[in-house]
Amino acid sequence: MTSPASSAPLRITGARIVDGTGAGPVDDGVVRTGADGTLAYVGPAAAEPPVEPGTRTLDVGGRTVLPGFIDTHVHFCAGSSADLTRRFQEDPTVGVFRAAERMRLTLEAGVTTARDLGGLPAGFRVAQAEGLTVGPRIRTAVRIMGHTGGHADYSTPCGMDLSGGVGEIADTVDQVRISVRRLLREGADVIKVCATGGMGSPHDQPDDEGLSEEEIRAVVDEVSRHGGRPVAAHAQGTAGILNAIRGGVTSVEHGYGLDVRARELAGERGTFVVPTLSTVFDGIDKSTMESYHYEKKVRWSGITQENIAAAIADGVRIALGTDSAICPHGRNLRELIHLVRLGMSPLDAITAGTRTAAELLGLDDRVGTLAAGKEADLVVCDGDPLADISVLAEPERIAYVLQGGTVRKNLLPAQPDARG
């Protein structure tokens, strides 16, 4: 998480600050960064300490400054849902460059940290950290663990794996333990398991159960024996959601069948829910989707709306995640619109994409809120997202992105290089 030193401390003035903690905005605010790429001061201009000599000043003209957002569920290995079943056709070298471009687009949309839940080798995390490519900080699951014939299995009747190796197949308690060890050896930051079938997989339904509660518990135990990592569960139908929560996962991904029993259990256990609403409400196009995929999406959209709205009302811990690839990359913050539509306030939706998402990833000591000592990750947007959350959804309205004190995007009007 160490950031490269920036060329000079930066002082952002004329800011309306939404700091990601859930607190109300600070008008006429100032954000200052240090030469080490961390935040030095965040607060009202009236309380600002003396300016360090050589500090560069950037006046954002009353725009809103927020923490860099965190998308906790992406798939950079694919550009669309169809790509997930065609990866074997792609030249791997071209695939690397395409993944890097998706990462860049995501960063410029305001996402400075992302968790890839299947398909992205750990080398991308290293490349980003070393400055070999530009994109969000990466946490990756490497592959998706599931059983034969389940959501992680894209094999054809002749045995060809159409996913190009995205799946990690395990069918017994002993096999899931071995799979965990293999994934950790390959650099996984999180283990993703399939507790149910899914929308895009050809052999199953979202209501089908995937790994059993016993197998999920074995994954959680095996991870704890090797230093600990979060465990994320692809879980759409109710039975599998309950298995996942009882098995001890950190997060339920999708959670479309999150009924009252599952909501209560998630609340008791402190389990995070990542509802990936963009995959249900955006881009459902019969002409570009496999028929089985389209039919599942249509059938589950109403169920999702009811259950996730209830989860929001019940105060379940919800973190932002999009499942990008199933929905477009670089449009990640459209997810905020869906969260607000289902009952979150704009401030709560922003918190879901900043502080809560950082808590889920175990990075809340470094990112997710604007506070002195944390990484200087921030975005500047045109307009007031507390009045209209959609201003964050359009990448062209993300005027400025700072990541670890380094400017990654700047659409602000040119201004003199003022230094203190």
pLDDT digits (tens, 9 = 90+) for 304-356: 999 999 999 999 999 999 999 989 999 999 999 999 999 999 999 999 999 99
For the segment 227-281, what is each residue's pLDDT rounded down to a tens digit? 999 999 999 999 999 999 999 999 999 999 999 999 999 999 999 999 999 998 8
What residue spans of 255-352 are helical by DSSP H? 260-269, 278-281, 291-314, 335-341, 346-352
> Which amino acid, 357?
A
pLDDT score for 414? 84
Query: How would you class 83 by CB atoms within 10 Å of its CB: exposed for 0-12, middle for 13-18, buried for 19 or more?
Result: buried
Alpha-carbon distances, residue 48 vs 29, 30, 369 (angstroms): 9, 7, 19
Highest mean pLDDT among 43-57, 85-99, 344-358: 344-358
For the segment 142-178, what is each residue's pLDDT rounded down to a tens digit? 999 999 999 998 887 777 777 677 899 999 999 999 9
Q: How confident is the prediction for the chain on average, in pLDDT?
A: 93
Three-class SS state of 168: strand
In the chain the domains, ranked by start, together with CATH numbers, are 10-68+368-419 (2.30.40.10), 69-361 (3.20.20.140)
Nearest to 110 by CA among 344, 354, 328, 345: 354
Residue listed under structure tokens 């998480």 = 1
What spatial distance separates the first Cα and last Cα of the chain, rounded to whole Å? 29
